[in-house]
Copies of this chain bind each other. A is one copy, B any other.
Amino acid sequence: MKNQITSALSDFFFEYETPRQVLVRNRRVGVVCRLIQLGVLVYIIGWVFIYEKGYQSTDTAISSVFTKMKGVGYTNDSGGERVWDVADYVFPSQGDSSFVVMTNYIMTEGQSMGTCPELPGKHDCSTDADCEGGSFKRTGNGEMTGVCVKRTKTCEVLAWCPVEDDREVPDPPLLLSAENYTLFIKNSVTFPAFDVSRSNLVEDIDSNYISRCLYHPDNAPLCPIFKLGDIIKLSDLDFQTIAKVGGAIGIVVDWTCNFDVDVKHCKPEYTFHGLYGSKEGASVGYNFRFARHYMEDKIQKRTLLKVFGIRFDIIVHSLARKFDIIPTLTAIGSGVGIFGVATVVCDLVLLYLLPKREFYKNMKFKYTDTQVQQDSESVGVDTNVYYTLEENAKQAQGKDQSKDPDSEAGSTETDVSKK
């Protein structure tokens, strides 16, 4: 028993199986097949490996963004001269990756809780019956008291009074100076699969450079300080329009990194594009309402700001690649499979399209004779003496066929030619 296992093991280890092959010397088939195989090889090496870098595994980063605006705005309206600094025009103030820079506004000062007529157009009326007391309108400013104010021909509401009049948006925008504000972006990314952390303040960017640089797509592509006017221009938008009604801009920080080369080549790229399809007109502009509450003479009051502004979304898009044995071998293994497809295609040409297909079929295939086999199966004799059709024919022809070197190559036609 032990001997048998040893022998089986030694058989297994000392034997090696390799498929037998026909070497077809045929120019047409040869060239066609080599070209197909070359195509597959070029595809695997050129496309999968070099172009798509199929030998690398990929990872996306976890990232964190901090932003800081700089610059001062100036307005001179009925309320007198005013300057606006960062604490006034950035919402929210703490430097989020998504924030709004106010460029225009409608300010309603000194609102207090009370009753006053609605804005014309919001809820017009001719008699009190038109104003159902206690009801709301979703787009209205408050709760209707049931009174129709004759002077304005609108319903009276309980609301922060006076109600905001936003029918006319200041044009030109009040804070056109926003064009000169600058935005500073700090972004750090970590690729957990490769254990690499990077900051957008890469090797060459020191505090000295930051203090004087300004982003330019060609001249200073790594400077993390952006002029607002430049961002709008690079997004193909018009500053005056977007400053008036507001808009949203995505700043994409693209980290496409190859960690097979030195990590210092992993640098961010900045691109800019308008969001929310603001050009299509379905829903243009960007605004929100913001209130500052205060007490005056023991009465709670508020200043309501309808803020039109540019919303910036800093969007980090990351894709790092590094050599990895698994995708490499998967690509190779699957490439070998496609090679197999190439062989199948060539075989189809060889066996079905060529004039001498019968010859090649005989070269390639060895048949077990169905007839004889079936017979022997039916009589239940498990003998190993099987003859192929051709062999039987040859036997009938006599012993001179004995030197036939390869019975697969010998076909009926052969016999005929020898006669």
Contacts and interface: CB of A to CB of B under 8 A. Distances in A.
Task: Summarize A's interface: helix, strand, loop or mixed.
Answer: mixed
Interface string A163-201: 000000000000001001110001010101000010101
B207 A281 contact: yes
Interface in A62-110: 62-64, 66, 68, 70-72, 74, 80-83, 85-88, 91-100
Contact of A366 (B20, B386, B404): B20
B368 A26 contact: yes
A384 B417 contact: yes
Counting chain B CB atoms within 10 Å of each CB, the highest count among A20, A99, A410, A413 belongs to A20
Given A20-B365, A199-B276, A294 B295 contact: yes
Number of this chain's copies in the assembly equals: 3
A284 B70 CA distance: 17
Interface stretch (A139-147, A234-242, A257-265): A139-147
Contacts of A359: 368, 382, 384, 386
A288 interface: yes
Q: How many A residues are at the interface, by size bracket? A: 35 or more
A387 to B, nearest CB: 6
26 contacts: A14-B26, A15-B24, A16-B23, A16-B350, A18-B21, A22-B368, A26-B370, A64-B98, A66-B275, A72-B143, A72-B159, A81-B113, A81-B158, A82-B113, A87-B289, A94-B288, A94-B311, A333-B335, A333-B336, A383-B417, A384-B410, A385-B418, A386-B409, A388-B406, A399-B399, A404-B407
